[in-house]
Structure formats: C-alpha cells, structure tokens
C-alpha cells in the first residue's frame, strides 16, 4: 500500500503531532508499506524528527494569497497518487485537503489531534471543521469522549486510536532515598492550555509542609517570563526551576518522584504516559479531556475534582507524603501502559489505513460545481429552515451562506442549517 502522511510542520516544529507522524511513517514502512510525507515549507531543510531513508518528502508549498498554489499542490499530490492520504491536523489549514482531494479518487483520512471543543472555539470553528469531516472517508480521534463532537453520520466513519507509548523502563527505587524529592511537570510554557501557574500556586501552598521537595517544570514557551515573575512574587525561586526545553527527558523522569499535568485540556496527555514508563504516578484534573482517560483515579494517579490550585494541592499532598503509595501507583501505571503498546497501536493504524484505501476511486469527495437547479433548490431549503421563512427579503448574510454551502457536500450543508438554527 502507498500511504501519504500530511505532517504539516515537520520541518518547522518539534511537537507531539510531528513526532507521531514520523513514528507512523517508520511503523508503516517496517510493515512493508511505501510512505510519502507531505509537508508545508522547507523550514530548516530537514525533518525535525528523522524519517526512514526511503521515505520521500514533498513540500506542498501552499499559499493562501495565490490561488495557483492549490493547483500546483494538487499536481504534486497526483504525481505521488497515494492509495490513502492521512492528514494530521487540529486547526484550519485542514481546509486545503478536501479541495486537494476532490475528484482525485484518493481516499482522505482526517486525523484530529486536539480537543474538539477547543478546536471549534479557539483554533477554528464548528462549521468548517464539520464540513471538512464530511469530505473524509475515515476519521481518526484520540479519545472516545471526542466522538460526542460528531453528528451520527460522521461517527460512523470515526475510529478512536490513542497514541503509542514505549514499554516500561527499568526503575531504580533507590531514588526514594534521595535527600530531596522532585515534583516534575513538562510541556509548552503556555498557560492557556498547560496551566503551570496553577501548579506553581499549588506548590506554594505545599512548600512549607514539604521542605524537602522541589518543583521542576521542563519546557519552553511564551509564558516563561510570567512564570519567573510569579515564582519571585511567591518567594519560590530557590525551590522551583524552569530549565527550558530538555532533550533527554528520560533522565528527568528517572530522577523524579511524582508527576503533575495541570492542563486545562490535552488531545492526548503524552507526557503523563511517558512518566508512567518510569513508574511515576500522575496528578491531573478530572475535567481535563486527554488526561482523565490516561490517569485512572486511585490506580496510577489522582484526578483533582475541581480545576483550581487548592484542589490540585490537596491531591498532590496525598502522594507527596506517602512513598509506599507512590510506588504502588507507579507500578500500576507501568502495567497500564499495555493499553498503548506500539505493536497494538500501529496495528490499529494499519487496519484503519487499509480500510480507508478501500475507498479509492469511490471516495466521499466527488463534488462537482452545482447546477443552477441545485443552487435554487439549496436556496429553497435554506428559506424553509428559517424561523420566519417569508417575513422579509433575504439578507446579504443569507446569500453568502448559500454560496458557501454550494461548495460543500450535501450532508455538510444540511448539517450547517441544523447547527445554525439549533433545530
């Protein structure tokens, strides 16, 4: 099978999505499939995560300001003619791919990598997200809870596959004899998602009672300066470190005693899974999608019931004061890693890609420009869906909506009306 993976920022960003995409290319290549990686822009000139030597990379070079770039990118796609195209996204650049695949016969698998509600409110919008989904032959989600974001006709196309994790690492339990204990966190220093400010505030509440504990927050990002100022204001500069991006996170996990993921949301809490490899129990929030399936409350960690510093501190306290409980939950976490065994996860991915490829030349994306009759009938349906169908002339806004719907699959257009009018 000839598989195309769209890893949009592989030459620019060293993130979780890019790492997963590169790992998928490795796994599918090892299983005997041919792989092509499509990306956007040359960046530093080489992938930030390595690919197998025989995996070809193709720069789509799409440009929002030049319509001709879509034709050129489409030509590049058709030159490779994959049996299935897996587009990995959580933002509005996905809009290019129904247009690229339309009437090519190439099946489209949309792989979504964040929390749907966040995508729809903060990164994109529901109307266009579902329109893209309507053009997909298959849909991949990271979490079963995310299925609720899809209408029934799209749920039928969806498959839930979590991210893979490496097997458990050897643990030196002598780390518990260390004179100082370490609470560890890791991720982008962006408070809107990761909420490390809540963790710092929680640690401030705990610090007097646990003078032998320190906090270490690994990662870099735009809120680093704000965190440094918060530490100074709380008098924690000597107890909390911000070492920046760490290349060898395994060493960090191996020397820590407890892990915390205070995120507001996660597509998949990969850092929490990585911590489990080293038998670190994790503390997070029960409301955090992407963490509340990884952390099983009372087994491999604790989920704080409310998203605030006080609840987080109370949950951390339970494990900071009890080394035996930390070890018991850490060992259970290593057992639960079987859920994310690479062979199992990549097997599910291979099945999904084979299923998607079976739609070749009979894909969902066979949309031709609408005829005059279809446009008029679409206008009639729009009028009949109005709360007051014939109360006055149509506004320009309605006319723009009709034009937008004309380019969408029929199901997406009907879905748009239901969403818009809440009927």
Pairing of strands 301-304, 240-244: unpaired
User: In the predicted model, what is the mean pLDDT of residues 217-235?
Assistant: 96
Q: Are residues 118 and 234 in the same domain?
A: no
- List pLDDT tens digits, range 233-266: 999 999 999 999 898 999 999 999 999 999 999 9
Confidence of residue 386 (pLDDT cuts 50, 70, 90): confident
Would residue 222 count as lying in a domain?
yes
Confidence of residue 419 (pLDDT cuts 50, 70, 90): very low
Question: Is the separation of the CB atoms in 77 and 102 below 8 Å?
Answer: no
C-alpha 89 chain-centroid distance: 8
The pLDDT of residue 401: 56
Q: Are residues 134 and 265 in the same domain?
A: no
Q: Are residues 147 and 221 in the same domain?
A: no
> In whole angstroms, what is the distance from residue 354 CA to residue 123 CA?
30
Q: Are residues 177 and 326 in the same domain?
A: yes
List, as one string, the DSSP characters of 284-300.
Answer: EETT-TTTTTTS-BTTT
Structural domain boundaries enclosing 293: 173-339
Q: Are residues 186 and 215 in the same domain?
A: yes
Would residue 78 count as lying in a domain?
yes
The better pLDDT of the pair 161, 270 is held by 161
- List pLDDT tens digits, range 12-32: 988 889 999 999 999 999 999
User: Which stretch of DSSP H or E encloses residue 328?
Assistant: helix 323-336
Q: Are residues 138 and 180 in the same domain?
A: no
Would residue 380 count as lying in a domain?
yes
User: How many domains are contained in the chain?
Assistant: 3
The pLDDT of residue 16: 84
User: In the predicted model, what is the mean pLDDT of residues 173-194?
Assistant: 95
The alpha carbon dihedral of 141, 147, 148, 150 has a sign of positive
Q: Are residues 177 and 160 in the same domain?
A: no
Question: Is the separation of the CB atoms in 101 and 135 below 8 Å?
Answer: yes
Residue 325 main-chain phi, psi, to 5 deg: -70, -40
Q: Are residues 145 and 258 in the same domain?
A: no
pLDDT score of 378 more than 90: no
Would residue 386 count as lying in a domain?
yes
User: In the predicted model, what is the mean pLDDT of residues 270-277?
Assistant: 94
pLDDT score of 271 more than 70: yes
H helix intervals, 44-107: 68-80, 96-101
Mean pLDDT of the chain: 91
* pTM (global) more than 0.75: yes
**DSSP class of 170:** P
Would residue 211 count as lying in a domain?
yes
Q: Are residues 87 and 195 in the same domain?
A: no
The better pLDDT of the pair 370, 102 is held by 102
- List pLDDT tens digits, range 326-377: 999 999 999 999 999 999 999 999 999 999 999 999 999 987 777 889 888 8
Would residue 45 count as lying in a domain?
yes
Would residue 129 count as lying in a domain?
yes
The better pLDDT of the pair 183, 391 is held by 183
* CATH number of the domain that residue 185 is part of: 3.40.50.2000
pLDDT score of 118 more than 60: yes
Q: Are residues 259 and 190 in the same domain?
A: yes
Q: Are residues 234 and 89 in the same domain?
A: no
pLDDT score of 37 more than 90: yes
Q: Are residues 334 and 351 in the same domain?
A: no
pLDDT score of 392 more than 80: no
């Amino acid at each position: 099978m000839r598989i195309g993976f769209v890893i949009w920022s592989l030459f620019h960003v060293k993130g979780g999505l890019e790492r997963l995409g590169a790992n998928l290319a490795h796994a599918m290549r090892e299983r005997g499939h041919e792989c092509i990686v499509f990306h956007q822009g040359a960046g530093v000139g080489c992938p930030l995560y390595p690919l197998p030597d025989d995996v070809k990379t193709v720069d789509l070079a799409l440009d929002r300001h030049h319509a001709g770039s879509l034709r050129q990118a489409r030509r590049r796609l058709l030159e490779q003619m994959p049996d299935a195209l897996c587009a990995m996204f959580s933002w509005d650049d996905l809009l290019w791919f129904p247009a690229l695949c339309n009437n090519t016969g190439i099946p489209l698998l949309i792989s979504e990598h964040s929390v749907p509600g966040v995508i729809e409110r903060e990164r994109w919008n529901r109307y266009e997200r579902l329109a893209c989904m309507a053009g997909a032959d298959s849909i991949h989600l990271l979490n079963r809870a995310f299925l609720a974001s899809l209408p029934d006709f799209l749920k039928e196309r969806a498959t839930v596959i979590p991210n893979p994790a490496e097997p458990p690492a050897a643990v030196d339990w002598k780390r518990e004899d260390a004179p100082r204990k370490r609470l560890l966190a890791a991720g982008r220093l962006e408070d809107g998602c990761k909420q490390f400010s809540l963790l710092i505030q929680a640690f401030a509440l705990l610090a007097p009672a646990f003078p032998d504990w320190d906090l270490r927050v690994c990662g870099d990002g735009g809120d680093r300066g704000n965190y440094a100022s918060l530490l100074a204001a709380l008098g924690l500069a000597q107890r909390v470190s911000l070492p920046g991006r760490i290349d060898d996170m395994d060493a960090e996990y191996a020397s820590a005693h407890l892990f915390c993921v205070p995120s507001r949301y996660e597509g998949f809490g990969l850092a929490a899974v990585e911590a489990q490899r080293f038998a670190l129990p994790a503390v997070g929030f029960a409301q955090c999608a992407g963490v509340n399936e990884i952390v099983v409350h009372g087994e491999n960690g604790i989920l704080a019931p409310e998203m605030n510093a006080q609840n987080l501190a109370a949950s951390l306290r339970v494990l900071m004061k009890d080394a035996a409980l930390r070890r018991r939950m850490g060992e259970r976490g290593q057992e639960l890693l079987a859920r994310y065994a690479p062979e199992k996860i990549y097997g599910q991915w291979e099945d999904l890609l084979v299923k998607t490829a079976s739609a070749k030349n009979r894909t969902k994306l066979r949309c031709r420009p609408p005829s005059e009759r279809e446009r008029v009938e679409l206008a009639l349906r729009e009028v009949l869906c109005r709360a007051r169908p014939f109360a006055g002339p149509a506004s320009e806004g309605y006319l723009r909506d009709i034009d937008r719907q004309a380019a969408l699959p029929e199901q997406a257009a009907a879905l748009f009306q239901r969403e818009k009018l809440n009927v």
